[in-house]
């Protein structure tokens, strides 16, 4: 059997700052380039008033999830047309328009 070096980390040991630079703070929301692009797109599309969510999704290459993240960040309201299961309608809040 081959010898293997095993290193154990001591609980409470100090980790050098340069080793921490690649770690992600999971408490902070992700906000990447695509989300910023989606925010700009939603502002443009919704500036003249509410639109069907599906129409917004169908007219862009951005993913539905990216658009959802951007909508949450902008405070876009989502309501159903006519019935509980009707199509969703997205609208910008007054201050984001």
- Tell me the pLDDT tens digit for each residue of 26-74: 455 556 788 899 999 999 999 999 999 999 999 999 999 999 999 999 9
Mean pLDDT score, 65-94: 89
Strand stretches in the chain, DSSP E? 51-52, 77-80, 88-91
Domain count of the fold of the chain: 1
The answer to pTM > 0.85 is: no
- Is 49 a member of any domain? yes
- Is 76 a member of any domain? yes
- Is 24 a member of any domain? no
Q: How far apart are the first and last CA of the chain?
A: 68
C-beta of residue 60 within 8 angstroms of C-beta of residue 41: yes
- Is 67 a member of any domain? yes
Of 60, 34, 32, the closest CA to residue 46 belongs to 60
Identify the residue with better confidence: 25 or 68: 68
- Is 16 a member of any domain? no
Cα gap 5→11, rounded to integer Å: 19
Domain extent for 36: 32-96
Q: What is the reported pLDDT for 83?
A: 76
- Is 10 a member of any domain? no
CATH assignment at residue 66:
1.10.10.10
CB-facing half-sphere around the CA of 22: CA atoms within 13 A: 1
């Amino acid at each position: 059997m081959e010898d293997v070096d095993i290193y154990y980390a001591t609980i409470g040991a100090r980790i050098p700052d340069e080793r921490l630079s690649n770690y992600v703070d999971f408490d902070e929301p992700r906000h990447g380039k695509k989300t910023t692009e989606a925010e700009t797109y939603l502002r443009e599309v919704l500036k003249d008033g509410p639109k069907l969510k599906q129409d917004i999704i169908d007219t862009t290459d951005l993913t539905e999830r990216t658009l959802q993240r951007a909508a949450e960040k902008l405070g876009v309201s989502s309501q159903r047309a006519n019935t509980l299961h009707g199509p969703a309608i997205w609208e910008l809040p007054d201050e984001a328009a």
